[in-house]
Amino acid sequence: MKPLPQVLVLDTCVLISNVLRLAFSQLAADGCFRLAWSAVIGDEWRRNAARIWRVPDAEVQQLWDGLQYAFPDADQGDVAAYKEGLQRSDPKDWHVIAAGRAVLAGGAAGQVAIVTRNIRDFNRSELRGLGLDLYDPDQLLVACLRDHPQAMADLLARLPGYASTPGRPPQDPSAILKRERLFRLNRLSLDRPVPCPQ
């Protein structure tokens, strides 16, 4: 069984989910792993978040600034040079792989992995040859449950707050996990149920 990666490059499709963004941020703050992204990932996230959430650009920028402040070493900046030589993964995702390569070039200790919902767009053998792992959010959080059970128990207790909507009662953690397509994590967490706050 592979150990949990030390550094996670979060794809835009992961960051766009409030629940996943807050979950990975909390686990990184708890010391389970470090986070990484690039200027392109940040640009994509801000553009898509403003459109999907229908909120002003300034509000999204403020959220991004908060992430940058909380994780000052995460942003790998301009990673265009690290696209060189990529062939087998989807070209529209080369910038995500480039961010992982930039982390490795910066001398990161331990394994670096890309976390994305778009697994099929990444060629695993190409990533392996570059020294990168690939996870979907469910796989990664299940590995975190194995290696950091207390941090994950705390996270599961916080889930209703992460998914809260003003004026509505808190949602059941299991319903949130299913909605976020975290099916394996949901099955495992049923063995250690977290009560929904009143």
Q: Whole-model pTM?
A: 0.92
Instruction: Give a yes or no: residue 1 inside a domain.
Output: no
Mean pLDDT of the chain: 92
pLDDT of residue 164: 79
Q: Clarify whether residues 44 and 133 are in a common domain.
A: yes
Q: What's the whole-number mean pLDDT along residues 118-133?
A: 96
**pLDDT over threshold 90, residue 170:** no
Q: Clarify whether residues 116 and 55 are in a common domain.
A: yes
Q: What's the whole-number mean pLDDT along residues 57-78?
A: 95
The domain that contains 24 carries what CATH number? Answer: 3.40.50.1010
Q: What's the whole-number mean pLDDT along residues 58-74?
A: 95
Instruction: Give a yes or no: residue 198 inside a domain.
Output: no
pLDDT of residue 191: 64
Q: Clarify whether residues 60 and 154 are in a common domain.
A: no
- Domain limits at 111? 7-143
Q: Clarify whether residues 136 and 168 are in a common domain.
A: no
Q: Clarify whether residues 69 and 153 are in a common domain.
A: no
pLDDT of residue 169: 77
**pLDDT over threshold 50, residue 135:** yes
Q: What's the whole-number mean pLDDT along residues 136-156?
A: 96
Contacts of 167 (CB under 8 A, 6+ apart): none
User: What's at 185, amino acid-wise?
Assistant: L
Looking at 37-46, 73-82, 165-174, which range is the least confident one?
A: 165-174
Instruction: Give a yes or no: residue 168 inside a domain.
Output: yes
Instruction: Give a yes or no: residue 194 inside a domain.
Output: no
Q: Clarify whether residues 110 and 95 are in a common domain.
A: yes
Cβ distance 14 to 115 under 8 Å?
A: yes
Number of domains in the chain: 2
Q: Clarify whether residues 47 and 110 are in a common domain.
A: yes
Q: Clarify whether residues 137 and 63 are in a common domain.
A: yes
Q: What's the whole-number mean pLDDT along residues 94-107?
A: 96
Q: What's the whole-number mean pLDDT along residues 140-149?
A: 96
Q: Clarify whether residues 29 and 108 are in a common domain.
A: yes
Instruction: Give a yes or no: residue 84 inside a domain.
Output: yes
